[in-house]
Amino acid sequence: MRIRPLNPEDAASFRELRLKALRDHPDAFGQSYEEAMNLSIEEMAERLKPSPDAFILGAFDAEGRLMGMVGFYRETGVKKRHKGVIWGMYCRPECRGKGVGKALLAEAVSRAKGMEGLELITLRVVSSNGAAKGLYASLGFWTWGKEPKSLKIGSLYVDQELMVLDVG
């Protein structure tokens, strides 16, 4: 397995995996499948351009297939730049329980820790997703709150737990 930042050349692979994640697990992401479907490959490529305050990491198998991904961005504004956000964590079902997600998350945390002045990393996770919560907790994240009805999918509401990791 190889983990590296995604770049504009990865747009097609990223789009395919992102759409799979949104289609298969609509309760786990803030963006809907329909919203993502409306984004062109060019728009996806734009999101993958290198930035000093944001990245999306991909885990690739030996054949170069994108198996998992995780995003990170640093908050903007003078009063919020000490915080960063993990988003879009997803691994293909056949990779789960094999360390791919943990390796991706550990690499994202390591890269974020290298950002000068970054003190906290936050994330949101569906309250009912015990496996994801366990993964985040295994790297030191802890739940500090819960947002009821955080997402609404049709007539279904999803609660999310708010987790944090102190890296300062």
Q: In which band, very low, low, confident or very high, does the pLDDT at 50 lie, cut at 50, 70 and 90? A: confident
**Domains delineated in the chain:** 2-166 (3.40.630.30)
CA atoms of 140 and 20, how far apart (whole Å): 28
- Mean pLDDT (whole number) for 96-124: 96
Q: Are 56 and 105 in contact (CB under 8 A)?
A: no
- pLDDT category of residue 55 using cuts at 50, 70 and 90: very high
Beta strand pairing status for 120-126 and 83-91?
A: parallel
**What's 128's DSSP letter?**
T
- Provide the whole-model pTM: 0.94
Q: How far is CA 152 from CA 23, 28, 31, 54, 145, in A?
A: 15, 11, 11, 27, 19
Query: What mean pLDDT value characterizes the chain?
Result: 96
pLDDT in tens, 16-39: 999 999 999 999 999 999 999 999
pLDDT tops 90 at residue 118 = yes
Half-sphere exposure of 160 (CA within 13 A, CB side): 14
pLDDT of the residue at 168: 82
